[in-house]
């Protein structure tokens, strides 16, 4: 993997551990010569991870819609800044540029990005690894909900297995390096999952 897209909050959260792990992930990406692809924000965890990658000598490419640039939340200190007309275009470009995806703590935008990229993977539109950096148990309720989807037969176990998770950035990247995409020829079973 040479390009990882990170979905994360435009806020930094209420606990310093979120900042610390964003910096740790940024350091690991730079150490591994993996380019950060992200939503180009200069605020919250988005800004923190981008700044850490830059400070560690790494490469950063951001994708942001024009209306957010006008609100002055775009990071102008990164190597490449791509402007789009819409949020949909932003997500498509980030997906096209990336070899894998990591979700860190964030709000509705992060959930939107994570769920959409998981859906695209389930449908076979990509076969790239998707990781969740489960900082301080932030995503534990979501991971349990995914397990409940399997139990209630709304999600196939093979598709649940697409969601990689770890609490440590280095270990999560190791899992992503070993990822084998599921066979998605039959993602829907009319008789039940």
- Tokens at residue 118, please? 């998981």
3-177: CATH, from 1.10.8.60, 3.40.50.450, 3.40.47.10, 1.10.1740.10? 3.40.50.450
DSSP letter at 64? E
* Segments making up each domain of the chain, as ranges: 3-177
Give residue 71's pLDDT. Answer: 85
Give residue 46's pLDDT. Answer: 97
Give residue 154's pLDDT. Answer: 94
Distance CA 64, CA 87 (A): 8
Give residue 73's pLDDT. Answer: 87
Taking all residues of the chain, what is their mean pLDDT, rounded to a whole number? 94
Q: Which residue's entry shows tokens 């649940």?
A: 160
In the predicted model, residues of the chain with pLDDT beneath 70 are: 184-193
Give residue 182's pLDDT. Answer: 83
What does the H/E/C string look like for 137-187?
Answer: HCCHHHHHHHHHHHHCCCCCHHHHCCEEEECCHHHHHHHHHCCCCCCCCCC
pLDDT tens digits along 128-166: 999 999 999 999 999 999 999 999 999 999 999 999 999
């Amino acid at each position: 993997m040479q390009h990882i897209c990170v979905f994360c909050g435009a806020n930094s959260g209420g606990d310093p551990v979120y900042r610390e792990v964003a910096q740790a992930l940024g350091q690991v990406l730079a150490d591994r010569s993996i380019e950060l692809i992200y939503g180009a924000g200069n605020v919250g965890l988005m800004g923190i991870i981008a700044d850490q990658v830059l400070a560690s000598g790494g490469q950063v490419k951001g994708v942001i819609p024009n209306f957010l640039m006008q609100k002055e939340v775009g990071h102008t200190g990164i190597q490449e800044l791509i402007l789009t007309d819409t949020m949909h275009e932003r997500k498509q470009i980030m997906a096209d540029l990336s070899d894998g995806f990591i979700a860190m703590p964030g709000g509705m935008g992060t959930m939107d990005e994570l769920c959409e990229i998981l859906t695209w993977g389930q449908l076979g539109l990509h076969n790239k690894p998707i990781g969740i950096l489960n900082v301080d148990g932030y995503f534990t309720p979501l991971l349990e909900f995914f397990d409940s989807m399997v139990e209630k037969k709304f999600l196939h176990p093979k598709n649940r297995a697409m969601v990689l998770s770890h609490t440590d950035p280095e270990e999560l990247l190791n899992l992503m390096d070993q990822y084998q995409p599921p066979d998605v020829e039959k993602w829907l079973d009319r008789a039940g999952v």
